[in-house]
Structure formats: C-alpha cells, structure tokens
Amino acid sequence: MADRVTKQANEVKLIVFACEAGMGSSLMGANQLKKMVKKAKLDVTVVHAPVHEIPAHTDVVLTHTGLAARAHEKAPTAAVVPFTMFFNDPTVKTVVDKLAAGEPIVSEL
C-alpha cells in the first residue's frame, strides 16, 4: 500500500485496538493499552472494536498484521500500525512512547 498516513501526536485523540471478532486476547490487549495510555497521562481515548466497526474519526488503529489492510480500507485517514501479538507486543508500547514524547505516528503498511 502506498498510502502512508502520518498523525502528529497532538492530533491523536482516538486509538482503536482492532481485531477480527472483538473477543478474547484482543480485549486483554486493548485493556493493556488503556492502562499504558493512562499511565503515560495521554489525553487519548482507547476503544476496542472489530476491524469492520472501526469508527470513521479514528486517528490510530493498532491491529494484527493480518488485519492491517482491512483496517486501512475501513479507516483510510487513520495511521494503521500492525502488530504480531495481541498481548505484550512491543509495537503497542512504542506507539504509546512516541505519543508521550510528542512524536508522530506513521502507518506501517
């Protein structure tokens, strides 16, 4: 995909942790992300949603590598960041760290 979306840290207000069906380990991963965002004192809302229900106003989508293309189709203006593990994936921590440092989030498709 040639579409690389960049979101400046101050633009990020909604992060969606997207999965296939909205249950199981992805819910645990979303809860972990919420705790990380709170600890970093970011003014960002984190929601958990199936990839086909990503809200249109989403700024960043964190999703499994296998769902990244579908997430981009559903939310073309969001920065889509794929990960490989639903829980404790270092990519998720990197996104929070970048936002806390005021760095932009760039789609990794």
Domain count for the chain: 1
Distance CA 99, CA 24 (A): 27
Of 86, 19, 72, 9, the residue nearest 44 (C-alpha): 9
Catalytic residue among 5, 12, 19, 54: 19
Mean pLDDT calculated for residue range 15-19: 95
Residue carrying the six token digits 């999703």: 63
Question: Which pTM value belongs to this model?
Answer: 0.93
Q: Looking at the domain assignment, is residue 2 inside a domain?
A: no
Note if 79 is an active site residue. no
Judge whether 5 lies within some domain: no
Q: Is residue 63 part of a domain?
A: yes
For residue 75, give its domain range: 33-38+57-109
Residue 96 lies in a domain: yes
Supply the CATH number for residue 90's domain: 3.40.50.2300
Is position 109 within any domain? yes
Place of tokens 């794929």: 82
**Residue 14 pLDDT:** 98
Summarize pLDDT for 84-93 with one digit per residue, the tens.
Answer: 988 889 999 9
- Statement: residue 25 has pLDDT above 80: no
* Model confidence band, residue 22 (pLDDT cutoffs 50, 70, 90): low
- pLDDT tens readout for residues 34-47: 999 999 999 999 99
